[in-house]
Structure 1
């Protein structure tokens, strides 16, 4: 990313990719390792998903969407620069993700599969759909039901997590189904943990404003299930994620620990 520094857009791209948990990139590398693919062969796919995730955060923080002024403990991109720079930096990070995948030293069929599957996960049938559903829920005449919140979050948050967990199997040309089951449970647990943190978390540790979802009319698991119900649902989902990895035996221990981290984290 250093090659983009020196211009407002380039500096904003670098800024937006700093910090954070790196969960999606971690899932790419660990799922690849689980399927016999070395980290040096999966690192560009990991960088690609982190670039695309950073783009989604920049745009999600914009005044026309969530209008957030703090991300990862620092001013959001449109606050530090301006709205136009934020839009362009997000656009550039999105295209960078696909450039990185195209540069991978893999069979062309694997590269096409990675590019196509990421486009679907990020696009109008995946993450973008989830963002649109989230915005629509803020002004809906009635609150979303549980199955509607699940569908929303499987798109908005879950689609990129699912791609990340499946990437290793795609690189190895293996069946993605076990990783899909793992990721679907993990992604929902991750979002429930976010909803819980928004209610009872520490803003300094979280690095963003908290206790804003209810006021914005956001559809959340806590709003529907209550705190205790949301925590119980998250725990059950982690158990589902762990069970999905049982066919891999002890080799999947790190990914099982990642599922536990998702609901125990403070940021």
Structure 2
């Protein structure tokens, strides 16, 4: 059984993720028409977004995740859950090691860019792998400096906003080591790149891709959206942007 800790049910997580894929498309402002397209999903995880894209009529979908157990589990899960799908495959090859160029019409990535340390290199590989006119749909949250940017790594009994920043990186790293029986020494080794919004914008601007849209803190309405709207306003105050930018959702196009 693939699991990150003893209370994590991957089958349940797959179903929850599959039912919530619409959130990503709403936050990006659209769901692309995948009919007949070759699609690459970067950071495919358990495979539910790969399944969603395959079910939407894509010609082919390649889900890439650098953790081999997830690749194997995702392939097995889709074969069991959707035996009719023949257009979805999985691989663990990082995009900057993938061969060829102009292979995909669309690249999609959800909740992965806050973990990648070589953002510039990954975006350069997107530029190489996309066909002219192809688009990359990228959404990720939470950024490390936002209220709960450690993804709960501290495992505090009471979740307090920015607690991981107050505690400091050493405490976060120590919590990671204890929970995973590891002995890492950097935040990046824990899976958090620690980048701020300006770092991502710089990478997008230097990728060779054209930003068609960039949304900060979009959600699905209700009280959470009101809170995110307030955060978006506070993020415009000089010096506060990293602490109130929870999520970034960008659409990039290859000229």
Normalised by the length of structure 2, the TM-score is 0.33
- Structure in which a larger fraction of residues adopt helix: 1
Higher relative contact order at CA 8 Å, sep ≥6: structure 1 or structure 2? 1
